[in-house]
Every structure is written in C-alpha cells, then in structure tokens.
Amino acid sequence: MEIAVLNIQGKETGRKVTLNDSVFAIEPNDHAIYLDTKQFMANQRQGTHKTKERGEIAGSTRKIKRQKGTGTARAGSIKNPLFRGGGRIFGPKPRYYGFKLNKKVKELARKSALSYKASSNNIIVLEDFSFETPKTREFIRIGDNLNISNKKSLIVLPEQNKNIYLSSRNVQGIEVVTAGELNTYNIMKASTLILVESAVDVLHSTF
C-alpha cells in the first residue's frame, strides 16, 4: 500500500512511500499480540514484593499461655499467623515474572500490530526532520499540524535523536522511539503511528 509523505506543516510533499505488504498487510494474529504484550508487561515488573513469615517476625518465643484449661485454642507463639502482628501465611516472595517467547512469535506480533494500524488508516509517514536544539514549542506545533495533539501517538525514528527526544519529553500523550525499540505494546497502545520516512526502510529491513 502507498501512503503520502507529509511535511512538518502537515501538508503533502508530493512523494509517496510504499509499505511492504509482508509487514503492513498480513493477516493479524491476535494470540501472538497477546503473548508479546504479556511478556513485555511481565518484564516491567520488579518482582521485589516480600512479606515476613512467622520465622522472620521479631518477638519472644515463649509459650504465651498454658496448653490446657484456658477454654480457648492452644497457642505456642506470639508469632502465630492467627494473631495480630504475626507472620503471614503463603505471602508473596521475590520472583521473576518474565518468560521465554520465540523470536518468530514476537516478529509475527509486531507485524500483526502494524497491519492493524495500516488497515485502520492510523499510520502517518512524516518526512525526516530534526532540531538544532531541544524545542518543546516546535514539537508541539508539529503535533498540532498533524492533528495528533489530543491523541496517544507514537513517533518512530530511524535512529536516536537526542534533540527530538528531549523536545518530546514534556509533551503528554506523545512517545518517541527508534525503529529498533518498537514493540507490540507501544504500537497497540498508540492511536496514531507516525513513521519518519527513513524509519520505513529500517522496518522493512528488520522484518
């Protein structure tokens, strides 16, 4: 499919970019998208949660009351989980939440996500641009010209550009990534996907 290339004023440049059907027009696989998104979110979890069990609670180990004759249940330790301040039964322990996912499944998930965006006409191709210095005001103006100011948008660059990244950092709803950092979660989360013209070739060569 062909998409017109826009300039930073939001107007057509007269050029068109052809998006490879093998990347942007496949039959989407929802389960692959689910697995890749699940793995991405699982990898974000620190897994440092921890509660103290009865053996880790500070306190006396003496028997708190006699075994029989009290009319209540027997109890041998103030650290008993049944008492307030005692240890917790089967509480969370530090663990790693990540899991293995085959590269081909991850690639299929990204292609599926890109195909969803292309089929719903939510992809914009923007000509290459740069800033000499970080300028948030200029970046906001570009967003206004492209009508993405009130939408969650993802701008994909061919490579790292510090000035563009710093310019976008305080703009709510717009995220800037490189083509190599693109993942299924970010693609699906964004309402509009803005591909810088040079990034299209990087995506074609990657997939």
CATH code for the domain of 188: 3.40.1370.10
State the pLDDT at residue 175: 92
In a domain, 174, yes or no: yes
Structural domain total, the chain:
2
- 36 and 79, same domain (yes or no): no
Per-residue pLDDT, 53: 94
Bridge partners for 196 per DSSP: 126
What percent of the chain is modeled with pLDDT above 90? 79
Same domain, 155 and 74: no
Residues 110 and 82 in one domain: no
Q: Are 29 and 107 contained in the same domain? A: yes
Same domain, 86 and 168: no
Q: Would you state the pLDDT for residue 61?
A: 87
Tokens of 153: 């948008």
Compute the distance between CA of residue 166 and CA of residue 157 in angstroms, rounded to an integer: 14
What is the pLDDT at residue 148? Answer: 86
**110 pLDDT more than 90:** yes
Read off the pLDDT of residues 138-192 as tens digits, 9 standing for 90 and up.
Answer: 999 999 999 888 889 999 999 999 999 999 998 888 999 999 999 999 999 999 9
pLDDT band of residue 207 (cuts 50, 70, 90) is confident
Residues 41 and 68 in one domain: no
Distance between CA atoms of residues 32 and 113, nearest Å: 10
| Full residue range of the structural domain in which residue 136 is found | 2-46+101-206
The residue whose two tokens read 């790693």 is 96
Task: Inform me whether the pLDDT recorded for 1 exceeds 90.
Answer: no
Residue 149, pLDDT score: 80
Q: What percent of the chain has pLDDT over 70?
A: 100
Coil vs helix vs strand at 84: coil
- In a domain, residue 153? The reply is yes
pLDDT at position 151 is 84
Task: Give the whole-angstrom CA distance, residue 138 versus residue 142.
Answer: 6
Check residue 10 and give its pLDDT. 86
* pLDDT at position 206 over 90: no
Look at residue 96 and tell me if it is in a domain: no
68-81 pLDDT, tens digit each: 999 999 999 999 99
State both tokens at 37: 């998104």
User: Does 84 lie in the same domain as 17?
Assistant: no
Are 42 and 20 in a shared domain? yes
Report pLDDT for 2.
Answer: 87
Does 74 share its domain with 147? no
- 156 and 56 both lie in a single domain: no
Q: Mark whether 41 and 64 lie in a shared domain.
A: no
- The pLDDT score that the predictor gives to residue 126 is 93
Same domain, 66 and 38: no
| Among 197, 161, 153, 190, CA closest to 178 | 161
Q: What distance in Å separates the CA atoms of residue 164 and residue 126, rounded to the nearest whole number?
A: 14
Instruction: Give the chain's mean pLDDT.
Output: 92
Residue 38 in this model has a pLDDT that exceeds 90: yes
Among all chains, which residue has been given the structure tokens 């998208």? Answer: 33
